[in-house]
Amino acid sequence: MMNPSDYREYLSQYTDPDALLDTLTNLQKTFRINTLKCSKGFFEGFSDIPRSPALLPNTFSCGKDFPIGKTIEFFTGMIHTQTMSSMIPPFILKPEPNDIVLDLAAAPGGKTTQMSEMMKNNGVVVANDVKFDRLSVLVGNIRRLGALNVMVTRQDGRNIGYKEKFDKVLLDAPCSSLGSSLSAFKTLDRDRIRDMARVQRKLMLASFDALKKGGTMVYSTCTFSKEENEEVVNFLLENRRDAGLLDIDLEIPHDSGLSEYGNEFRKAWRIQPNQLKSEGFFISSISKGA
């Protein structure tokens, strides 16, 4: 375990520790309209939640102290609370109606249900997670939000065994949470990062192998360490010759991936907390050659 001083020094390789801690301490609540349950027009006419438009379509900020989880809009599934950074990977993946999509580490289901909404409840989203206690939260969100095209599975994603079955795959990998947790230093050490990276590499290979030729996957984490981000992507590129990084065509403030892994990694994103006033995130978009 790192002490706070060592933690700040470690973070300084990747981000401004003061900006990170300030952002996470004062993190504003954000939410998205769930168009499976209501239109934007209906929501705006119905809801008196104090809000201001946020960065992405149909998203809003409501301040950090508003009890949004106790509103009728939340209980009925008209909205879902989600950090701004965590909403970006599905926008990059762009699941479409009639796609067959795998969300390999799906709980608690924010991105799963977001993709179901983008697909207009058509096609199929296979939402997988390995931990039984997380599945109840995942299923609860799927039901509340009316995501009818989602199938839930419980398997170890490292050995899920699908071969070229999915048009698109999302791997929002379990990680050390350096970009999203104020208390990450309490469990952070080099061994933990190495252990997480070993799991992530296996999940990455399983995700890519499940992808159809010509398909696209997104790999994301809410952490900063290169061992869990660029090194995992680089591991895939070295072990699957038909894998390639794609440019991301969203107009969102971000830094590029670390250049020490080559010019290709300019296509990957590192979102700094001060850029979106949200969590720190790493995101990469990956193609599978036809």
**pLDDT single digits (tens) 200-246:** 999 999 999 999 999 999 999 999 999 999 999 999 999 999 999 99
pLDDT at 189: 78
Contact 227, 197 (CB under 8 A): yes
How far, in Å, CA of 197 to CA of 76, rounded? 38
pLDDT at 182: 81
Helices (runs of H) and strands (runs of E) counted in the chain: 10, 13
How far, in Å, CA of 104 to CA of 166, rounded? 11
- Domain locations in the chain? 84-288
What letters, b where the CB count within 10 A reaches 16 and e where it falls short, cover 124-143?
Answer: bbbbbbbeeebbeebeebbe
Q: What percent of the chain has pLDDT over 90?
A: 87
The pLDDT tens digits of the residues spanning 108-148 come to 999 999 999 999 999 999 999 998 889 999 999 999 999 99
pLDDT at 108: 96
Contact 89, 222 (CB under 8 A): no
Please check the confidence at residue 63 and state whether its pLDDT lies above 90: no
Mean pLDDT of the 170-187 span: 88
Please check the confidence at residue 2 and state whether its pLDDT lies above 90: no
pLDDT at 184: 79
pLDDT at 181: 86
Mean pLDDT of the 85-93 span: 97
- Polymer length in residues for the chain: 290
Domain 84-288 CATH assignment equals 3.40.50.150: yes
The larger pLDDT score, comparing residue 8 to residue 215, is at 215
CB-count exposure of residue 255 (10 Å: 0-12, 13-18, 19+): middle
pLDDT at 239: 97
pLDDT at 199: 97
Instruction: Assign 258 a pLDDT band (cuts: 50, 70, 90).
Output: very high
Pick the catalytic residue from 38, 62, 175, 222. Answer: 222
pLDDT at 192: 87
Please check the confidence at residue 183 and state whether its pLDDT lies above 90: no
pLDDT at 128: 98
Please check the confidence at residue 3 and state whether its pLDDT lies above 80: no
Q: Please tell me what DSSP assigns to residue 186.
A: G
pLDDT at 8: 86
Residue 222 is a catalytic residue: yes
Please check the confidence at residue 290 and state whether its pLDDT lies above 70: no
Sign for the CA dihedral angle at 160, 161, 165, 167 comes to positive
Q: What percent of the chain has pLDDT over 70?
A: 99
pLDDT at 210: 98
